[in-house]
Amino acid sequence: MRALVMEQGEDGLAVAQITDIDAATLPEGDVTVAVDYSTLNYKDGLCLSPKGGGLVRTYPHVPGIDFAGTVEASDDPRFVAGDKVVLTGWRVGENRWGGYAQKARVKADWLVPLPAGLSPRDAMAVGTAGFTAMLAVMALEDHGLSPDKGPVLVTGAAGGVGSVATAILAHLGYEVAAVTGRPEQGDYLKSLGAATIVPREALNETVKRPLEAETWAGCVDAVGGEMLARVLGQMKYGASVSAVGLAGGAGLPASVVPFLLRGVNLLGIDSVMQPIENRKRAWARVAKDLPLDKLHGMVQNATLSDLPELGASILKGGVKGRVVVDVNA
């Protein structure tokens, strides 16, 4: 079977190679999946980098934190040959071989049956980024967000998480304000349903005032850092922010004042270790609430050989929307 394998050189740096490997070398697991598609997320870019982004511990390594395909063999009664499945998270592709290969072997507990209405390619157009976006929207709704409350901000909107969040929120009837540092992406974001485009420069500077005008009823934040600190001071009373990323830094130079005087909620969104029932709930919502025409419009196609270049690009913020990887091409 063909796979993208990261091999570590004598200098300690890893290099990607497309090569044939024996399926017998796959890690232990309950279920063997014939992979149809994988995708590219920020974490994949880290795993594809020469030092593994601090995520890869041992080499040789097959990256790919997501995949979708067909069960080939199963020792678990929950899955039988021919079942369509999707996997995201569980450290697959990080400390365990992942989806950048024609086959993968994993624990049955990590697999979700592919929801009706989604193809394996659709599922990887969603991937971890879109799955995380859906979790973020669900968390905001669980904390009281509804379309009548006012506009919802999406930061890093042209990225994978932001693109899917924008499309989902717009489809659900929310007024979406999309933040981007790439003005040329304005038309793209409006095609996903964004009502307004907010230049990154308008939010990426900290201010001395802990509170500003109450502006946003909710926020999906993929940036973190100074922008998140600024946004917290602009949230409406009782509003929530779903924090999904740290493209702008892991620090948070914020004040507690928005939490104390406006009851603002900061909701941490983890997609890696989500319980299986919430995974099923999120994937069912994706199938219901993410318009496939919008999803297809944010996708670029790739093969295994494209991944080293794309991996470097996504780390620099150079990838728009979602990337679907045909591992058999």
Digit-coded pLDDT (tens) for 153-174: 999 999 999 999 999 999 999 9
**Are the CB atoms for 247 and 204 separated by under 8 Å?**
no
Identify whether 277 is part of a domain.
Answer: no
**Are the CB atoms for 231 and 155 separated by under 8 Å?**
yes
Examine the domain organization and report whether 220 and 197 are in the same domain: yes
The share of the chain scoring above pLDDT 90, in percent, equals: 95
Examine the domain organization and report whether 103 and 135 are in the same domain: no
pLDDT-derived band at 205 (thresholds 50, 70, 90) equals: confident
Q: Which domain holds residue 223?
A: 128-268
Examine the domain organization and report whether 109 and 162 are in the same domain: no
Ordered alpha helix ranges (H), 158-275: 160-171, 186-191, 225-232, 257-261
Element housing 310 (H / E): helix 307-315
Average pLDDT over residues 251-258: 94
Q: In the chain, count of helices (H) and strands (E)?
A: 9, 15
Sign of the C-alpha dihedral computed for residues 171, 172, 173 and 176 taken in this order: negative
pLDDT-derived band at 40 (thresholds 50, 70, 90) equals: very high
This model's pTM is above 0.85: yes
How distant is the alpha carbon of residue 224 from its chain centre? Answer: 15
**What is the tens place of the pLDDT at every residue in 70-106?**
999 999 999 999 999 999 999 999 999 999 999 999 9
Average pLDDT over residues 22-36: 95
Examine the domain organization and report whether 15 and 78 are in the same domain: yes
Rounded to the nearest 5 degrees, what angle is found at the Cα of 9, between the Cα atoms of 5 and 14? 45
- Please report where in the chains the tokens 């009782």 appear, as a residue: 238
Examine the domain organization and report whether 233 and 318 are in the same domain: no
Examine the domain organization and report whether 150 and 187 are in the same domain: yes
**How many domains does the chain divide into?**
2
Examine the domain organization and report whether 101 and 211 are in the same domain: no
- State residue 123's pLDDT score: 98
Does the pLDDT at position 207 exceed 90?
Answer: no
CATH of the domain at 189: 3.40.50.720
Examine the domain organization and report whether 137 and 257 are in the same domain: yes
Identify whether 244 is part of a domain.
Answer: yes
Does the pLDDT at position 150 exceed 90?
Answer: yes
- State residue 317's pLDDT score: 87
